[in-house]
């Protein structure tokens, strides 16, 4: 029986995460709480046959597929994130990382100042580096929520840095690239994965 629980747990996790669905969203589709979904995914409980059939309909797979062992059981991503969140504050780690980047930027600025040249552009370079850091950490801890806005800001910051590098040529035309570049970012985040039949 434990092997069946582990197989069902693994399959629900895999199908739900592949569909970019949260435990709450799956619970709403099945009229169950996210706590119940979490119990299934931790192999603490097993859905009955009727619920397995409904889960199969949601993900377009058979009940046989849900009961079959396709790979080793893996810890639910939400559970792993919660375990990490209980140990460390992800928002505080993000703040420390950003503060570290800006501390290095100020340090580099002071060094160039002491050497006789003031390089204000160092602070412009720190912006995309900070945004890349936020993007990576946001993807790890928050499942990519709000990544669209972070990537959009990153694209603009890169264009601004290139402008600063080429400022002696006054390349205002670079900002014409911003509109189509932002459209590419927006549309790329609207691409949905096609559901696979098993």
Q: Give one word for 68, left, alpha or beta, with left for phi > 0 and alpha for psi -120 to 50.
A: beta
pLDDT (average), residues 104-112: 95
Q: Where are the alpha helices (DSSP H) in the chain?
A: 2-18, 23-30, 34-41, 49-59, 63-67, 77-87, 90-114, 121-142, 147-165, 178-188
Is residue 165's pLDDT more than 70?
yes
pLDDT tens for each residue of 133-157: 999 998 888 777 889 999 999 999 9
Architecture of domain 2-81: Orthogonal Bundle (1.10)
pTM for the model stands at 0.54
Q: What's the pLDDT band for 77 if we cut at 50, 70, 90?
A: low
- Domain borders along the chain are 2-81, 88-188
Mean pLDDT of the chain: 85
pLDDT (average), residues 50-68: 89
Is residue 82's pLDDT more than 60?
no
DSSP letter at 118 equals -
Query: Strand, coil or helix: what is 48?
Result: coil
pLDDT for 194 equals 57
């Amino acid at each position: 029986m434990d092997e069946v629980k582990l197989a069902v747990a693994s399959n629900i996790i895999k199908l739900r995460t592949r569909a970019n669905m949260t435990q709450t969203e799956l619970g709403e589709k099945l009229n169950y709480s996210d706590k119940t979904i979490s119990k299934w995914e931790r192999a603490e409980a097993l859905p009955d046959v009727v619920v397995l059939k409904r889960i199969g309909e949601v993900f377009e797979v058979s009940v046989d597929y849900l009961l079959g062992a396709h790979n080793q059981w893996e810890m639910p991503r939400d559970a792993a994130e919660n375990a990490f969140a209980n140990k460390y504050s992800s928002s505080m780690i993000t703040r420390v990382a950003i503060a570290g980047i800006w501390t290095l930027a100020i340090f580099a600025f002071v060094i160039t100042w002491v050497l006789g040249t003031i390089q204000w552009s160092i602070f412009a370079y720190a912006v995309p580096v900070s945004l890349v850091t936020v993007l990576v950490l946001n993807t790890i801890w928050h499942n990519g929520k709000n990544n669209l806005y972070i990537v959009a800001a990153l694209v603009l910051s890169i264009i601004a840095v290139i402008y600063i590098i080429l400022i002696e040529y006054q390349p205002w035309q670079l900002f014409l690239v911003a509109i189509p570049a932002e459209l590419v970012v927006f549309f790329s985040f609207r691409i949905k994965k096609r559901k696979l039949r098993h």
